[in-house]
Amino acid sequence: MQIIKFPAALLGAFILGCAGLVACGGGSGGDSASDTTPPTLNIGSGISTLKGGATTTITFSFSEAPSGFTASDVSTSGGALSGLAASSADPKVYTATFTAGSGNGTASITVAAGSYTDAAGNAGAAGASPSLAVDTIAPTVAIQSDSATLVPGASSAITFTFSEDPSSSFTWNGSTGSVVVSGGSLGAIAGDGLTRTATFTAGNTNGAASITVPVGAYTDTVGNPGAAGTSPSLTVSSGVSRSPSVNLGSNTSGGTSGVGCALAYSGSQLLSYAILGSSSTVSESLNYLSNWACAGTRTLAGNAVPNHATTDGKFASRLSAQTISKTFPVNPSLAVSATTLQIPGYLLNSVKLEPGTAGKCTTAATSVRDGCDYAGNSGTVTMEVLQDPAVTASSWWDFGADTSNAHVQPNGEYHYHGMPNLLIPKLNTNSANSMTLVGWAMDGFPIYADKGYATASDATSALKSMKGSYRLKTTGVRTQPSSTYFPLGMFVVDWEYVAGLGDLDECNGRTGVTPEFPNGIYHYYITSTYPFIQRCTKGNR
């Protein structure tokens, strides 16, 4: 037998097989690496918040094309999923439609781990829900007014406060939109977000006014129709909206009983002012007191300390408390002729009215310091305290009056020469748009600030500032002191009454209706034109 010997390398190849050769089967390389990575899933929504019944597209984005992924693999709450299908353009993407349910709250769309595999059979990772909520709550709106009662023609700020931003769904251009208005007019809406504002102007008819928003007149951002907005308490009336501390009442049976007959003021007021002719200033708190009562007569007991600041005052002496005790008729009646009075009345804070002054000048006076005496110890021509708007003068008498046209006498008594500007808002918080009773004349008739009805007998007519019926003289004008030094208007003698020139008579009064006297009464006004405060009274005393 012949024995054949093979080289050692060839013999090894037979033993090891193809794996021992560098090149086996004529190819290069061999089997690919094994796939052991699990596929992942991201779930997204086209909308994050939906109203009930609304739909959104849900997108399932896989890292690899899934195998065996069906609708039964998806868990859903807060709504229903339908129409699951693979994208024809990308096998890794599936889409479906989510329809929100009727419940309010968070919705969820998830896929559990292992619900699908990739082509290699690796079990897929879980798919977490996108941010998704169902909003079925109707938005609400609250409507507020900064005034509950308005006189005809007066205005109030209206605020609309929403629970959710209505965006551009809430509109009002002044005549059409989401608001229903009665009893007046509402200007165009301004603002954005949760708060919108507009101005309401009262009409000319007394009664309830209304500003409402109907159901469904606006929506929230997802489209839920809004709930109704009810009107704030709003009344158009010729009455006055006053601060709570002032309850004056009204009278429809004649006389003045029942109006301001139980009125009491007391408290402490910080008073700051300068002292004329010196560098001294005063800043101190004084107690004020004013009590009014009616029992046969109207009585006043007070101390003449103002219940308001004395801004910009430059007084001749320190302000001090006085003892004020006065009586007034409760059933006033008009006299045959007027009576001139130095003190025609008292205001509700017990401070007196004193339109005139003791200051005088000689007929030969040439300046406020040459021939003029503020104390009235010399001279015959009486100074006029306040400057009327009709008078052009670079300077005026310096009596040291404060912002309320008041100062003090040498004995420390505070008194008004003109409009009591800082007292008026204390008595009436709506004084810009309504009449304000400020005091009583010595004859028992009421005194009002400057505003009254355009038609004296009509409380629904427009409100206007009353104007006195006085003018600067055009004939028989003053020659002494010379107008070269003192322009016309600086002395009482420069003025003359012309019946019908303004709104009021020679005593700055008229007969007409007022909030406190709806059937009408004779009453006086303090005006911003001469004579400012009445220089006479028309009633019997």
81: enclosing H helix or E strand: strand 79-86
Residues 6+ apart with CB under 8 A from 336: none
pLDDT at 246: 57
Q: What six digits make up the tokens of 352? A: 């007196």
Convert the pLDDT of each residue in 41-81 to its tens digit: 999 999 999 999 999 999 999 999 999 999 999 999 999 99
The yes-or-no verdict on residue 17 having pLDDT over 50 is: no
> Looking at the domain that runs over 41-135, which CATH code has it been given?
2.60.40.10
Cα–Cα nearest to 285, from 267, 302, 311, 301: 267
The yes-or-no verdict on residue 394 having pLDDT over 80 is: no
pLDDT at 247: 58
471 with 443: CB under 8 angstroms? no
Average pLDDT rounded to a whole number, residues 133-153: 86
pLDDT at 101: 92
Convert the pLDDT of each residue in 195-254 to its tens digit: 999 999 888 777 889 999 999 999 998 999 999 999 998 888 754 334 433 558 888 888
The yes-or-no verdict on residue 396 having pLDDT over 60 is: yes
The yes-or-no verdict on residue 151 having pLDDT over 60 is: yes
pLDDT band of 182, cuts 50, 70, 90: very high
For residues 158 and 189, give the distance between their C-alpha atoms in angstroms, rounded to a whole number.
9
pLDDT at 45: 95
Residues 6+ apart with CB under 8 A from 19: none
pLDDT at 25: 40
Cα–Cα nearest to 352, from 412, 405, 413, 400: 413
382-386, 445-449, 487-491 — which one is most confidently predicted on average?
Answer: 445-449
Convert the pLDDT of each residue in 254-313 to its tens digit: 899 989 988 888 889 999 999 988 888 999 999 999 999 998 899 999 999 999 999 999
The mean predicted confidence, pLDDT, of the chain is 89
Convert the pLDDT of each residue in 459-502 to its tens digit: 989 999 999 999 999 888 888 999 889 999 999 999 999 999 99
pLDDT at 436: 93
- Considering the domain delimited by 141-236, tell me its CATH architecture: Sandwich (2.60)
pLDDT at 239: 44
The yes-or-no verdict on residue 22 having pLDDT over 50 is: no
pLDDT band of 8, cuts 50, 70, 90: very low
Segments making up each domain of the chain, as ranges: 41-135, 141-236
153 with 459: CB under 8 angstroms? no
Beta bridge partners of 472: 495
- Strand ranges across the sheet with 105-106: 49-51, 133-135, 105-106
User: Within 10 A of 454 (CB to CB), how many other CB atoms are there?
Assistant: 12
Average pLDDT rounded to a whole number, residues 368-382: 90
21-35, 334-348, 389-403 — which one is most confidently predicted on average?
Answer: 334-348
Same fold, 41-135 and 141-236: yes
